[in-house]
Amino acid sequence: MLELVKAGGWPMIPLLLLTVVALGIILERFWSLRRKTVLPPGLGAEVRAWAARGNLDPTHIDSLRRTSPLGALLAAALDVRHRPRDQIRERIEDVGRHLVHRMERFLNGLGTIAAAGPLLGLFGTVVGMIQMFLGILDSGLGDVNQLAGGIGKALICTATGMIVAIPALMFHRYFRGRIAGYIVDMEHEAIQLLDTLDTRPVAAPTAAGARGITPSTHLD
């Protein structure tokens, strides 16, 4: 492996750095986007039970907000639970956009690595070919086997760029899909909470109003 790195020349240095950064992002996203971290099991049902019992003091809501992205979304709905349903939905959508942005942290960087890897590999190949042809200009064609070996060394950068880019692209798409699935599940939990909050008692008509009797004044 070390010989391949030496053969690729200095353009291999940024490719190796991209490899380390991509690996770090992938490991960090795997840890941060675990399902039990984003959508703790049973949290939605527990919050709906709170809402049904009316046990919604600010301390409970603040602790819920700190638990997970799902907890933050449900806490945002509970903060405005006394408002009309459409306003609660607007608050959920606003907070949801921030949560999606937080869950997509570092994914733009991973996508950039996937796009830049082949270009850096091609750049290293071009640099190697230029150096090889400059050597031919100075000392002539020389040994054909040596020329083929030089071309092979130049192509090492291209192969390395693809080795970096392909996993980065695959994991970028994978994490995007995982986040999209989480969003659907979080929306489902939020709608269920809205349905629970929406069971507010409607003021019943008075007995007189129900019989169609209107109050009147009597003049003595």
Q: In this predicted structure, what is the pLDDT of residue 145?
A: 59
Across 173-185, average pLDDT? 95
User: pLDDT, tens digit, for every residue of 136-175?
Assistant: 666 666 656 556 666 767 788 888 889 999 999 999 999 9
Q: Which two tokens stand for residue 64?
A: 């819920």
**Residues 6+ positions from 47 with CB-CB distance below 8 Å:** 64, 71, 74, 78, 193
Q: Where are the chain's structural domains?
A: 11-200
The pLDDT of residue 219 is 36
Give the phi and the psi of residue 40 in degrees, each rounded to 5. -55, 130
Quick one: tokens of 57? Answer: 């003091």
Are 70 and 39 in contact, with CB atoms under 8 Å apart?
yes
Higher pLDDT, 114 or 209: 114
CB 64 within 8 A of CB 78: yes
What distance in Å separates the CA atoms of residue 63 and residue 50, rounded to the nearest whole number? 13
Task: Determine the Cα–Cα distance for residues 26 and 145; give it in Å rounded to an integer.
Answer: 41
- Residue 141's contacts (CB-CB under 8 Å, 6 or more residues apart) are 147
The residue that leads in pLDDT, 144 or 112, is: 112
Region of poorest pLDDT, from 17-31, 89-103, 180-194, 206-220 = 206-220
Q: pTM for the full model?
A: 0.77
The top-scoring range by mean pLDDT among 83-87, 129-133, 210-214 is: 83-87
Whether the Cβ atoms of residue 122 and residue 180 lie closer than 8 Å to each other: no
End-to-end CA distance of the chain: 110
For 82, phi then psi, to 5°, come to -85, 0
As a dihedral over the C-alpha atoms of residue 175, residue 181, residue 183, residue 186, rounded to 10 degrees, the angle is: -130
Share of the chain above pLDDT 70, in %: 78
- Of the candidates 57, 84, 87, 99, the one whose C-alpha atom is nearest the C-alpha of residue 187 is 99
Q: pLDDT value at position 139? A: 64
Q: What is the mean pLDDT of residues 85-95?
A: 90
Structural tokens at position 119? 């270009």
Residue 169 confidence (pLDDT): 95
| 151: Cα separation from own chain's centroid | 41
